[in-house]
A and B are shown apart, each in its own frame.
Chain A
Amino acid sequence: MMRLFLRLILALLVMAGPLRAEFAIQEVISPGGIRAWLVEDHGIPFTALEIQFRGGHALDLPGKRGATNLMTALIEEGTGDLDSVAFATARDALAAQFRFDSNVDSVSVSAQFLTENRDQAVDLLRRALAAPRFDDVAIERVRGQVQSILRNDAQDPQAIAGRLFNAQAFGDHPYATDGTGTPESVAALTRDDILAAHRNAIARDRIYVGASGDITAAELGPLLDRLFGELPATGAPLPPQTTLALTGGVTVEPFPGPQSVILFGHDGIPRDDPDFFAATIVNEVLGGGRFGARLMTEVREKRGLTYGIGTYLADYDQADLMLGQMSSSNATTAEAIAVVRSEWARIAAEGITAAELEATKTYLTGSYPLRFDGNSRIARILVGMQMIDLPIDYPATRNAKVEAVTLDDVRRVAARLVQPDALRFVVVGSPEGLESSN
């Protein structure tokens, strides 16, 4: 039973980097022109390969919500002469691990395979990616699982809050609705829709690859061509940037239970903004998931109003937000929200102290080398860096950028980023003394 709630996942905030001299990221360009970043480490006889196809749920065609999600879930259900069972059997016999996942901005593949049967594992993955069978029987079975998830989400206050928040924030943009789809849209998806989603999402013009482990650059290059050579050259166009339609206020959605789930947020800051590091420090001081953070101190440590609270800068491909989350008993929800509002206003007006700035810098710079920990994590970080267009030498320069932030920078950015009046709270529960404001 963890003492802290799990820290909110930082969407694309890649901060990892090595400080070790012998640690080096290599850029590998395959003979066929596919690029990957690689960290070689021959200590353990396996390779972690992390692949992202940019696009994700946002590529769903009109009326086909959930197609990309369902398509991704079906990639492991067979290819060529291998049906679902034969594919799983072949994969397990190689002791390879493939995970296919999708989110608003990408379809991802996480693969781990042993050095001793690398070629066979890569061949199996190649076949799955390029030509999934999409058997009707597999479609129906997996569709049933997705429908079960949707029924679960409809009863999950966390999921309900997320859907309400996104609907208010994103207007007509694909981000406004859940990429899993609705019971109706998922029920209506045909095999042709799934094939179209596959063509749109899985293409060579949007591949990002990170690799780490027991493989050399010379081996990785040809592997990339084998793995991706059969994919179409281009996929569907990416959706446009969106501006947030969010307004300040409170939305209450009634739900039974002892607590309310509270999501809150407003506009964020782009990852490539020159003030991004100052904004990162503002967010850490206000709502980093750590005990020293102001919200954790004020809402949990001083008042006991929640088990955990955190904020984060959510940088999606087409939108940027600053988001936060907590749960509180129905009787204390209004008080917890008032404390958040008050801390929001305080940091916007006053910035942070010199001591907070120094402590946050030592945390951010000190934790930086600890994140390059293991082949799987390194491969994920390498692909994340490429997705947000960081230079390959970023790890060597990143801490200096954190160190360069001044108290004035923080004050200026806090005043711009943190907007008490723009804050929208979405509350799912039965809070006492709290009603929707508009």
Chain B
Amino acid sequence: MPLRRLGFLCLNLSLAALPAAADTVSHFTLENGLEVVVIEDHRAPAVTQMVWYRVGAADEPPGKSGIAHFLEHLMFKGTDDLANGEFSDTVEAQGGDDNAFTSWDYTAYFQRIAADRLDLVMRMEADRMRDLQMTADDVTTERAVILEERAQRTDSDPGALLSEQMRAAQYLNHPYGIPIIGWRHEMEQLSQQDALDFYRRYYAPNNAVLIVAGDVTPDQVRDLAEQHYGPLQPSTGLAERVRPAEPPQLAERRLTLVDARASDPYVTRTYMAPERDSGDQADAAALTILAELLGGSGTTSVLAQKLTFESQTAVYASAFYDGTSLDDATFGLYVIPLPGVSLAEAEAAMDAAIAAFLEEGVDPVALDRIKTQIRAADIYARDNVDGLARRYGEALTVGLTIQDVQDWPRVLQAVTADDVIRVARTVLDRRRAVTGWLLPEETKP
């Protein structure tokens, strides 16, 4: 059974879920540089519009952590044509829903609404791409909201605090080490001017991807997109997205967080790992399958077998990897020991399990089974057109292409047992890892 609180770490089929068949996906670019993807699904009379900007927390100026996410909140505060809150009110009055999210590499806005209201939401989304306005009071109040958000989602959660600390240790120089929500002391200083500077530079058609998914045709979308987004001026201040690179890691990094609010202690480790690159996704595919083999199932995976079946070491063990990022990603392991088993013992057992896996090699039956599940995931994924839209939006804002997205299933199927062992040997090296322990109290480990 899955542990409820581990949802964010559990790898399952959804990770490997694949894109829609190519014949339902169209792609074109407007003259001002706006890239458009249309995913057709005519089963329900609904449509999702998503605008993805190729900018996220890892593109923030130094000292302004959290500004990408703060701007995302402020994007609902009005434009030259819309009052504060009118965007969402208008969507809701039509029976739709809207929201937004920010990551290190992208910021995205979406609405889901009846298909015949696409014109309305496109007009409003195009409006706020270039004409955002807000009052100083709105900014002050919303800053209090994001501080509450940080308090709720990070400062109240020992596990979130540990992973924030671990990322900061993992990335010494690259901005992936800075939390998306921001460091509290910098969030408290974020200003309206900071938000507008960031907005004016990065929010423009030539830095965005429009995804429309649902009961629409490519021709309809092209007409509406040209009408609403076509007149927008591109930004001229965009540079190539080159972030400060990591120096070579010379020493293993370890940290322990003691927090009285923690319950079961656990050990988790993240290794620096390559991400998916355009035209070169083979290693990322092998790592994706490695994560499934090591920890994708609570019953049959290597870690589950060795730590919860063959030995009485862990309550739960898993492995995780998501290679959809612009720069280097991480590959992670996670073990909650059984009561009476120390973190040191659990970590030793985890390392022994990895060593044994490298020694014994890949079980060909397990590899086949995972590939079968990945093939089936392609079919199940087509049931959720919003999920497909997110997959394309994520890929296109981290430097991948439509072709890469559509090649991904084949790249996964082409992974061999030797590939898996090769990437495992390269990546699973403690000298290039961060190991974190979470404990409720100072105890002898």
Contact = CB atoms under 8 A, between A and B. Distances in A.
A369 B95 CA distance: 9
A145 B315 contact: yes
Interface string B366-387: 0001101101110110111100
A295 B57 CA distance: 30
Interface centre among B103, B112, B305, B376 (most CB of A within 10 A): B376
A19 B92 contact: no
B262 interface: yes
A76 interface: yes
Given A76-B1, A362-B95, A370-B95, A92 B297 contact: yes
B308 interface: yes
Interface string B94-110: 11110111110000000
B242 interface: no
Contacts of A370: 44, 46, 95-97, 112-114
Interface stretch (B148-156, B164-172, B411-419): B148-156
Given A141-B308, A290-B92, A374 B315 contact: no
Contacts of A84: 299, 309
Interface in A288-304: 290-292, 297, 300-304
Contacts of B336: 148
A154 B92 contact: no
Interface string A230-273: 00000000000000000000000001111100000000000000
Contacts of A290: 88, 92, 97
B345 interface: no
Contact of B101 (A1, A151, A376): A1
B69 A1 contact: yes
Interface stretch (B137-145, B195-203, B280-288): B137-145
A391 to B, nearest CB: 22
B45 A1 contact: no
Given A292-B92, A304-B141, A43 B43 contact: yes
Interface in B61-100: 69, 72-73, 76, 85, 88-89, 92-97, 99-100
A113 to B, nearest CB: 9
Given A154-B263, A292-B89, A301-B141, A2 B101 contact: yes
Given A89-B369, A369-B44, A370-B46, A3 B73 contact: yes
A147 B73 CA distance: 39
A92 B372 contact: yes
Interface string A148-162: 110110111100000
A95 interface: yes
A309 B375 CA distance: 41
A359 B299 CA distance: 50
B444 interface: no
Contacts of B152: 5, 259, 307, 327
A305 interface: yes
A366 B300 contact: no
A48 interface: yes
Nearest to A290: B92
A151 B92 contact: no
B250 interface: no
Nearest to B373: A95
Given A157-B156, A366-B114, A369-B44, A152 B95 contact: no
Interface string A22-62: 00000000000000000001011110100000000000000
A363 interface: yes
B438 to A, nearest CB: 12
A304 B148 contact: yes
A2 B152 CA distance: 13
Nearest to A93: B369
A4 B380 contact: no
B1 A367 contact: no
Interface residues of A, number: 76
A4 B149 CA distance: 9
B338 A44 contact: no
A62 B130 CA distance: 64
A155 B144 contact: no
A307 B149 contact: yes
B144 A305 contact: yes
B47 to A, nearest CB: 9
B148 A1 contact: no
A130 interface: no
B156 A259 contact: yes
B76 A291 contact: yes
Contacts of B76: 3, 291
A114 interface: yes
B185 interface: no
B316 interface: yes
Contacts of A154: 263
Contacts of B316: 145, 148
Given A88-B300, A258-B151, A307-B152, A366 B96 contact: yes
A97 interface: yes
Contacts of B383: 44, 46, 48, 374-376
Contact of A327 (B94, B156, B338, B382): B156
Contacts of A372: 44
A1 B89 CA distance: 21
Interface centre among A18, A44, A372 (most CB of B within 10 A): A44
Contact of A1 (B3, B103, B297): B103
B181 interface: yes
A95 B385 CA distance: 20
Interface in A302-330: 302-307, 327-329
Interface string A132-143: 000000000110
A329 B73 CA distance: 19
Nearest to B379: A46
A390 interface: no
Contacts of B338: 144
Contact of B89 (A93, A142, A291, A300): A291
Interface in A356-415: 359, 362-370, 372-376
A85 interface: yes
B156 to A, nearest CB: 5
Contacts of B153: 1, 307
Contact of A369 (B114, B261, B382): B114
A304 B3 contact: no
Contact of A95 (B143, B156, B376): B376
B264 interface: yes
Contacts of A92: 297, 300, 369-370, 372-373
Contacts of A257: 155-156, 261
Contacts of A46: 379-380, 383
A44 B305 CA distance: 34
A87 B300 CA distance: 10
Given A148-B316, A152-B264, A370-B113, A88 B46 contact: no
B294 interface: no
A85 B299 contact: yes
B78 to A, nearest CB: 12
Given A1-B180, A92-B297, A41 B43 contact: yes
7 contacts: A3-B73, A92-B373, A145-B3, A290-B88, A307-B153, A370-B97, A372-B44
Q: Pick the 5 closest A-B CB pairs, nearest first.
A: A366-B95, A304-B144, A95-B376, A88-B299, A367-B95
Interface of A: 1-5, 18-20, 41, 43-46, 48, 73, 76, 84-85, 87-89, 92-93, 95, 97, 100, 112, 114, 141-142, 144-145, 147-149, 151-152, 154-157, 255-259, 290-292, 297, 300-307, 327-329, 359, 362-370, 372-376
